[in-house]
Amino acid sequence: MGTVVLGTGSCLPKRILTNKELESIVDTSDEWIRSRTGIGARRIGGKGEQAYQLAAKAARRALDHAGVAVDEIDLIVLATISSHMIMPSCACLVQNEIGAKNAFAYDVNAACSGFLYGLDLADKYIQADHSKKILVIGVETLSAKLNWKDRNTCILFGDGAGAVVAGYSGSDHGLKGAHFGSDGALGDLLCMHAPQSLNPDLEIEGYPGSHVLMGGREVFKHAVRAMEDSVRSLLDAQGVSMESVDLVIPHQANIRILNKLAERLNIPQEKLFINVSKYGNTSAASIPIALDEANKEGLISPGDTVLFCAFGGGFTWGAVLTKW
């Protein structure tokens, strides 16, 4: 008996920003970006594509796919670090946008790990019989939070939203376990400061401002190690071997991290779902977008064992195992 994914959905902004276009914005090249990140393009939000609007569209698509009416939803857990408002929460904006009048709603701030944190929270509510059907959403509009003169960050990130409807199953399908970790001591290696109106220190000359800041080499090292350890801990606790996992859907950070993780965990390429080349790093949205794509492409069958893993700012990381 467990928490199952009843439906998936996603929404990407219309505008596609290619590496070639980035060459006219910052000192870079298509070859440089592809060789270091595996990214060829990313989506950029425009008018009518704020985080809550993308999230609402992804949520509606997940509801349609699940065959669940919006008034059946009693909780919305939304992961984001880039909503255009601090208060009300993005989850509350989505609740209003889709008309989920019977749901309570809140945000989760765990950067790229946020969707998995939200999925685990949904599982806990359902197992405690506190909620019946839950929307778990990951959404980002990080293009508005980037320094477009910094080629170390602006080439990496994209906008988008993904969502799932989670509910109870009386069968042996559903979430089997999760493992999470955090290390706030390393937070400065991947961070985004508050806007100036909230942080008087921004008046200091040279203060970095409210842009994404990242120490790439250190992040790479910690990301691979943390996800590897989290996956191993989870599989060991569940008595599951990597060989018995049918599909791995990791956070789509960049191709080097994904390839190194696959090497460390002996994941065959055919079992590793990758779409980072099309969308870049969409932070909290990357796993639900990838899950929706894999699901709609028929890559997941009933009974399959699916593994998710992520690493993000905080540092935060985690892994979730489910039987589809």
Structural domain boundaries enclosing 318: 175-323
Is 251 designated active site?
A: yes
How far, in Å, CA of 286 to CA of 276, rounded?
8
Q: Which residue, chain included where needed, has tokens 């042996």?
A: 172
From 19, 254, 281, 295, the catalytic residue: 281
Tell whether the model's pLDDT for residue 92 goes beyond 60.
yes
- Do both 98 and 188 map to the same domain? no
Across the range 291-297, mean pLDDT stands at 98
* Listed residue (100, 13, 93) closest to 62, CA to CA: 100
Strand order in the sheet with 247-250: 174-182, 316-323, 305-312, 247-250
From 19, 251, 254, 295, the catalytic residue: 251
From 112, 154, 179, 295, the catalytic residue: 112
Q: Fill in the amino acid letter for 110.
A: A
Across the range 51-74, mean pLDDT stands at 98
Helices within the chain (DSSP H only) = 19-22, 30-37, 51-66, 90-98, 114-127, 216-238, 255-265, 276-279, 286-296
Tell whether the model's pLDDT for residue 205 goes beyond 70.
no
- Do both 215 and 96 map to the same domain? no
Using alpha carbons, list the distances in angstroms from residue 24 to 21, 112, 126, 283: 6, 28, 49, 25
Query: Within a 13 Å sphere around the CA of 191, how many CA atoms are in the beta-carbon half?
Result: 13
Render pLDDT for 8-39 as a digit per residue (tens, 0 to 9).
999 999 999 999 999 998 888 999 999 999 99
How far, in Å, CA of 119 to CA of 176, rounded?
12
Which domain CATH number covers 109? 3.40.47.10
Q: What is the pTM of this model?
A: 0.94
Helices 286-296 and 114-127: angle between axes, nearest 10 degrees: 70
Where among 137, 171, 205 does a domain terminate?
171
Is 109 designated active site?
A: no
**What total of structural domains would you count in the chain?**
2
Tell whether the model's pLDDT for residue 153 goes beyond 80.
yes
- Do both 242 and 185 map to the same domain? yes
Is 309 designated active site?
A: no
Do residues 131 and 74 touch, judged by C-beta distance below 8 A?
Answer: yes
